[in-house]
Amino acid sequence: MALAALPMLTLAGCGGSKPQGTVRSAPLISIFEAPLQLATAPGPTLNLLHRLGVDDVRVILPWSRIAPDATSHKVPAGLAGASPAAYPEVNWAPYDAIIRAAAARKMGVLLNVSGPAPLWASARGAPPGAEPGVWKPSATQFRLFVHAVGVRYSGHYKPPSGGGALPRVSFWSIWNEPNLGEANLAPQAIDNSTVESSAQMYRELLDAGWSSLQATGHGQDTILIGELAPYGQTGPGDPGNFGEMAPLRFLRALYCVDSSLQPLRGAAAAERGCPTTAAASKSFATKHPALFQASGFAMHPYANLETAPPSLVLPDEPDFVYLATLSRLESFLDTVTKVDGAGRQFPIYSTEFGYFTKPPSPSAPSLALAAEYINQSEYMSWRMPRLRSWDQYLLADPQTGGPSAFNSGLEYSSGQPKPIVFDAWRMPLFLPATREQKGHGLEVWGDVRPIHYTPRPQDVRIQLEPGGHGGFETVQTVSVSDRGGYFDTSVKFPSSGEVRLTWTYPHGPTIHSRLVTISVD
């Protein structure tokens, strides 16, 4: 079915003209991903992100990038895998530089310790087409690697290369998109795709990573699990070795429950590495603490394949989890974590998100429409009280790949900011309704993100250009004290026209949001 014909989600708080009131009990932090720019120019990149008001940068730490002799099937002689010194200093250097530069700017790092594994830590016998290091990685070796990472970024480790003790990392996640087989974890499913083998492997990797972070002094840190891709292949024989598994199917196998969320038993349990009896189930939470004690659950809730409105719900796909259906994940976790009568309401973290744009992707939303979707997505995120983060992936479009690449950057591959889109992310503006009867008022939601690193409060001006021409006039000034820069207010506009936000950096330039057209009857 064409995306344009799909039904729309009715979202509480998205259709009215009055503010619905602040629903957040915790800040909505901003996370940014710019892997290429952080690797090649960490200082200048972080300067830009700091000026944009970013809280944390997400950095994937691939095991095979750090490991010695990663392309060999033979374990390196004398490898003391639990020590940072067992891994070449030159391999650590790019990550050390990012972490030092972030700390110097008082920015955080979400370190995603992930695969692929070195070949010597993955199983032999991978079928043709397997990417190196994704086939049955060793949880035992991963435990040693995460121990080395935890020691290195404990805040006390002084590398032999000098520079003093490395800063501490206190924000973690374990593995990236384990429900995606092509580049992350394989096989996804065996026995003609009837048994979710990737879930069992991920459970073992979680156990290993969790125990090492606890052992290296990170037990009180924020540790996320999941990092799941939002969609999956659901046809006969899918997802096979290297496909993508729908996240809720993956999670049912991970938590050892059936489609009714009742504990698996017998052969179905044994095939997935789960307890086969009620008696054995009593120790499941104790044996797998990350599943029940993690600080939060991370999702990559891309909205409907990056091309459709963020409120759109795909029909007949109940196992998909994206922005408009995050409540499915919340409900699942609330149910399966009721162990011995004690439920757990996991905070949810968005740790990868973005929209493709046209240009360069020919079938993506236009720049103006992508900017609108980005702002609507953040508004929806802000309205979800259990969602703790808002993520942007990427800073710039990939330098290779052309129109078919993952073109979700705020900049083109040349480094030139995308018109409208860059401004929309820096200072979001969203009006759930854009038509009002004169004197009734419209809800105006926004975020002056850069004030995160400025003295607060700061004044932002809500401006109107009547009829879309003749110059902008300030209709209302809002004093913003929220650490993330968010505000939600009602404005009685005197006439139809174009609305924008305007704010001035302390001792710096004046910036504007995107424009929103309103009608006043």
CB 298 within 8 A of CB 227: yes
pLDDT at 11: 36
Q: Is the pLDDT confidence value at 478 over 90?
A: yes
Residue 15: pLDDT band (50, 70, 90) is very low
Distance CA 452, CA 56 (A): 12
Residues 55-62, mean pLDDT to the nearest whole number? 98
Both 352 and 452 in one domain: the answer is no
Asked if residue 419 and residue 344 are part of one domain, the reply reads yes
Give the integer Cα–Cα distance in Å for 470 and 496: 13
Nearest to 22 by CA among 487, 478, 492: 487
| Residue with more model confidence, 279 or 5 | 279
Look up residue 186 and give its DSSP letter.
B
Judge if 385 and 397 occupy the same domain.
yes
User: Tokens 């891309």 belong to which residue?
Assistant: 302
Residue 395 lies in a domain: yes
Residues 347 and 386 placed together within one structural domain of the fold: yes
Confidence of residue 307 (pLDDT cuts 50, 70, 90): confident
Structural domain contains residue 5: no
Report the CATH number that the domain containing residue 496 is assigned in CATH: 2.60.40.2470
Burial of 1 (0-12, 13-18, 19+ CB in 10 A): exposed
Shortest CA distance to 392 belongs to which of 363, 370, 414, 364?
370
Q: What is the pLDDT of residue 343?
A: 77
d(CA 137, CA 141): 8
Distances (CA, A) of 89 to 62, 94, 95, 361: 15, 10, 11, 39
DSSP 181: T
Residue 499 scores a pLDDT above 90: yes
Would 211 be classed as within a structural domain?
yes
pLDDT digits (tens, 9 = 90+) for 161-177: 899 999 999 999 999 99
* Confidence bin at 434 (pLDDT 50/70/90): very high
Q: Is residue 16 part of a domain?
A: no
Q: What is the largest distance, in Å, between two alpha-carbon atoms of the chain?
A: 78
| Closest of 300, 307, 445, 305 to residue 370, by C-alpha | 307
Domain-ending residue, one of 407, 426, 445: 426
DSSP label at 167?
A: P
In the chain, the percentage of residues whose pLDDT exceeds 70 is 95
**Contact predicate 91/149, CB 8 Å:** no
Question: Are 176 and 258 in the same domain?
Answer: yes
Determine which of 36-45, 177-186, 303-312, 447-456 has the lowest per-residue pLDDT on average: 303-312
Q: Which residue has the higher pLDDT, 438 or 307?
A: 438
395-423 pLDDT tens trace:
999 998 788 899 999 999 999 999 999 99
Least confident of 2-16, 50-64, 353-367: 2-16
Query: Would you say residue 384 lies in a domain?
Result: yes
pLDDT at 20: 65
Tell me the pTM. Answer: 0.95
The answer, yes or no, to whether residue 474 has pLDDT greater than 70, is yes
- Total count of domains within the chain: 2
Q: Are residues 404 and 442 in the same domain?
A: no
Residue 16, token pair as written in the block? 């009215």
Residue 358 has pLDDT above 80, yes or no: yes
Residues of the chain with pLDDT > 90, as a percent, come to: 89
Q: Buried (b) or exposed (e) across 158-179, using 16+ Cβ within 10 A?
A: ebeeeeeebbbbbbbbbbbbbb
Query: pLDDT value at position 8?
Result: 34
3 domain residue, yes or no: no
Does residue 400 sit in the same domain as residue 503? no
Domain span including residue 491: 429-520
Do 382 and 345 fall within a single domain? yes
Model confidence over 374-399: pLDDT tens digits?
A: 999 999 999 999 999 999 999 999 99
Mean pLDDT for the chain overall: 94
According to the model, what pLDDT value does residue 458 have?
97
Does the residue 13 lie in any domain?
no
Asked if residue 37 has pLDDT above 60, the reply is: yes
Pairwise CA distance, residues 445 & 481, whole Å? 14
Beta bridge partners of 479: 459
Whether residue 385 sits in one domain with residue 441 = no
- Position 1 pLDDT exceeds 90: no
Average pLDDT in the 198-216 region?
Answer: 98
Upper half-sphere CA count for residue 326 (Cβ side, 13 Å) = 27
Any long-range contacts for 75-84 (C-beta under 8 Å, 24+ apart)? 75/120, 75/121, 76/120, 81/141, 81/144, 81/145, 81/147, 81/148, 82/144, 82/147, 82/148, 82/151, 82/212, 83/148, 83/151, 84/148, 84/149, 84/151, 84/152, 84/157, 84/159
- Segment 224-262, tens digit of pLDDT: 999 999 999 999 999 999 999 999 999 999 999 999 999
Whether residues 458 and 309 fall in one domain: no
27: domain CATH number? Answer: 3.20.20.80
Last residue of some domain: 426, 443, 464? 426
Query: Do 397 and 507 belong to one domain?
Result: no
pLDDT at residue 298 tops 50: yes
- pLDDT at 21 (0 to 100): 58
178 and 325 share one domain: yes
Domain edge (last residue) among 394, 411, 426: 426
Is residue 6 assigned to a domain? no
